[in-house]
Amino acid sequence: MTKEHANWSPYDNNGGTCVAIAGADYCVIAADTRMSTGYSILTRDYSKICKLADKSFMASSGFQADVKALQKVLSSRHLIYQHQHNKQMSCPAMAQLLSNTLYYKRFFPYYAFNVLGGLDSEGKGCVFTYDAVGSYERVGYSAQGSGATLITPFLDNQLKSPSPLLLPAKDAVTPLSEAEAVDLVKTCFASATERDIYTGDSVEIIILNANGVRHESEQLRKD
Amino acid sequence: MFRNQYDTDVTTWSPAGRLFQVEYAMEAVKQGSAAIGLRSKTHAVLACVNKANSELSSHQRKIFKVDDHIGVAIAGLTADGRVLSRYMRSECINYGYTYESPLPVGRLVVQLADKAQVCTQRSWKRPYGVGLLVAGLDESGAHLYYNCPSGNYFEYQAFAIGSRSQAAKTYLERKFESFPESSRDDLIKDALFAIRETLQGEKLTSSVCTVAVVGVGEAFSILDQATVQALINEFEISGEEAPATASVAEEGAGDAAADQGGAAAEEEAAPMDI
């Protein structure tokens, strides 16, 4: 007797790519704006980035219905935190909350591949990268989503410290300037767009620094 | 009101049709330090007197932000007020999560009132000992409601609760007709004047009172001490006395909106109707 398999799946993959890079005093969070299903495009104009707190932005690719639900849950939790503590959540605190929230649904996961970017309590850029069930790590840069396999090796080449054996241990944040980092991100997306069919249309870039938040948008190939 | 054989349980009626435990809960509100609220068409202001137990301690927080568009000032058992504020915040967050829009104030006060009513009809509970002045904004403008321990709620143009609130009410009764068209700053000024009335001669400084505002285009926020002191200095230096207007004082402060089933305030009725 073979087990009957479901003729539908609760998940769908809406594609897209997310990238974040941490700098000494800034953070860049970027995501393309294409939303797909199968081989079709649902819209060319969908934001995958959500502001969770003054200094925490989350970019998520995967199943956007789950992403939306996850964003709502985290926003509500942040409101509760503000009522209780009379201040905004720090980025590392939000990082832990996101991890816990994801693991909470360990046995029916949020199909969301997240990258959390922001400024830590010292004002330094921080990026946290996640898997679907909440395993996370603070890194200097990260890419998630359909174009991640194309972008990550390129970022490794440009940003990775020469060797983990080198002492003293180098800081995770990149020595690049803010403008250079934004330019690098645009290059990443332009390249990923060339070969990944799920990435394109335009890229939404958020730059977070001591002066506040900045938005940039760059058109990408639409094919 | 003296001790009698019908006041042990909240679930015991007196022969005159009164629930004494509920009325005693309303007394607790009268013992708390004063809180006042007033509103115009576009703004609502809450203000309260801060009483610290001793010079060594800090004063209790009596004004709470519930959501961007709603705030509450309490008088009575502050602990009960804190718990109810947490409930209100939770309701606003849940409504916002489900409907992606702000919870209308009128809906929130009904839920609050129903919650209070439950405590008047369970033998194992006691009524909340706190009165709440709920100030909020919705599509129809600014609103001010008063929720009492009995589970009743009324909408007001202006109201005052707590100890020595009658002095503030008298001041508000004189001026309330001008409130709907008042500017935001005039409304705050009137709030401070009303607070000053309750102080009965004590000097009004920003360390003694707290003021909060919510309005069209302005999220609910508690004004910081420096701002409040500047406003106080403004009208004290100009030697302004609390201005009297020609309007006749009416029974019950402000107008109680009948559309939500609130009874008009009358001194002769059992206290819980006020």
Q: How many residues does chain B have?
A: 274
Which residue bears the tokens 């080198």?
A: A166
Q: What CA–CA distance (Å, rounded) separates B77 from A132?
A: 46
List all residues of chain B from 179 to 208 with a beta carbon under 8 Å from chain A.
none
Please indicate if any CB of chain B lies within 8 Å of the CB of A68.
no
The minimum CA-CA distance between B201 and chain A, rounded to whole Å, is 34
For helices B78-99 and A64-85, the axis angle rounded to 10 degrees is 160
Q: What CA–CA distance (Å, rounded) separates B45 from B37?
A: 6
- Determine contact, residues A124/A25, Cβ cutoff 8 Å: yes
Structure confidence at residue B207 as a pLDDT band (50, 70, 90): confident
B98: amino acid identity, one letter = T
Q: What secondary structure letter does DSSP report for A89?
A: P
Q: What CA–CA distance (Å, rounded) separates A70 from A74?
A: 6
Q: Give B96's contacts in chain A (Cβ within 8 Å).
A: 76
Q: What CA–CA distance (Å, rounded) separates A31 from A144?
A: 9
A3-37: pLDDT as tens digits: 999 999 999 999 999 999 999 999 999 999 999 99
Pull the structure tokens for residue B203.
Answer: 């000097």
- Determine contact, residues A15/A64, Cβ cutoff 8 Å: no
Q: What CA–CA distance (Å, rounded) separates B142 from B63?
A: 17
What are φ and ψ of residue A80, in 5° steps?
A: -60, -45
Say what the pLDDT of residue A50 is.
97
Say what the pLDDT of residue B262 is.
37
Q: What CA–CA distance (Å, rounded) separates A45 from A40?
A: 14
- Determine contact, residues A47/A216, Cβ cutoff 8 Å: no
Of all residues in chain A, the one with the smallest CA distance to B87 is A80
Query: Is the model's pLDDT at B274 over the cut of 90?
Result: no
Nearest to A72 among B65, B86, B97 (CB): B97
- Determine contact, residues B210/B69, Cβ cutoff 8 Å: no
For helices B225-237 and B184-198, the axis angle rounded to 10 degrees is 80
Q: What percent of chain B lies above the pLDDT cut of 70?
A: 86
List all residues of chain B from 19 to 58 with a beta carbon under 8 Å from chain A.
none
Which of B51-60, B65-74, B88-97, B142-151 has the least mean pLDDT? B51-60
Count other C-beta atoms under 10 Å from residue A44's C-beta.
15
Q: What CA–CA distance (Å, rounded) separates B200 from B208?
A: 13
Say what the pLDDT of residue A93 is.
97
Q: What CA–CA distance (Å, rounded) separates B134 from B116?
A: 14
Q: What CA–CA distance (Å, rounded) separates A110 from A151?
A: 23
Q: What CA–CA distance (Å, rounded) separates A52 from B228?
A: 32
Say what the pLDDT of residue B201 is.
82
> Which candidate, B142, B149, B162, places its Cα nearest to that of B63?
B162
Average pLDDT score over residue span B144-162: 97
What are φ and ψ of residue B242, in 5° steps?
A: -55, 115
Q: What CA–CA distance (Å, rounded) separates B223 from B239?
A: 23
- Cβ separation of B97 and A83 shorter than 8 Å? no
Structure confidence at residue B248 as a pLDDT band (50, 70, 90): very low
Residues 6+ apart with CB under 8 A from B108: B66, B70, B88, B91, B92, B134, B136
User: What is the sign of the dihedral through the CA atoms of A87, A93, A94 and A97?
Assistant: negative
Please indicate if any CB of chain A lies within 8 Å of the CB of B61.
no
Q: Give A79's contacts in chain B (Cβ within 8 Å).
A: 89, 93
Please indicate if any CB of chain A lies within 8 Å of the CB of B99.
no
Of all residues in chain B, the one with the smallest CA distance to A73 is B97
Counts of helices then strands in chain A (DSSP H, E): 4, 12
A31-74: pLDDT as tens digits: 999 999 999 999 999 999 999 999 999 999 999 999 999 999 99
Structure confidence at residue B264 as a pLDDT band (50, 70, 90): very low
Please indicate if any CB of chain B lies within 8 Å of the CB of A217.
no
Q: What secondary structure letter does DSSP report for B177?
A: G
Say what the pLDDT of residue A222 is.
96
Query: Is the model's pLDDT at B144 over the cut of 50?
Result: yes
Say what the pLDDT of residue B265 is.
38
SS3 B61: coil
Structure confidence at residue B57 as a pLDDT band (50, 70, 90): confident
Query: Is the model's pLDDT at A223 over the cut of 60?
Result: yes
> Which candidate, B76, B108, B107, places its Cα nearest to that of B89?
B108
Of all residues in chain B, the one with the smallest CA distance to A74 is B97
Please indicate if any CB of chain B lies within 8 Å of the CB of A79.
yes
Say what the pLDDT of residue B243 is.
53
DSSP 3-state percent helix, strand, coil across chain B (nearest 5): 35, 20, 45
**Inter-CA distances, B106 with A146, B38, B69, B128, B202, Å:** 47, 16, 12, 20, 36
Q: What CA–CA distance (Å, rounded) separates B58 from A14?
A: 54
Q: What secondary structure letter does DSSP report for B15?
A: T
Question: Which of B68, B89, B91, B100 has the most A C-beta neighbours within 10 Å, making it the best mutation to test the interface with A?
Answer: B89
Helix (H) or strand (E) holding B70: strand B70-76
Give the angle subtended at the CA of A186 by the CAs of A180 and A188, to the nearest 5°. Answer: 100
pTM of the model: 0.86
A132-162: pLDDT as tens digits: 999 999 999 999 999 999 999 999 989 876 5
Say what the pLDDT of residue A167 is.
62
Pull the structure tokens for residue A102.
Answer: 């994801």
Residues 6+ apart with CB under 8 A from A101: A70, A73, A74, A77, A110, A134
B120-138: pLDDT as tens digits: 999 999 999 999 999 999 9
Please indicate if any CB of chain A lies within 8 Å of the CB of B96.
yes
Structure confidence at residue A198 as a pLDDT band (50, 70, 90): very high
Structure confidence at residue A171 as a pLDDT band (50, 70, 90): low
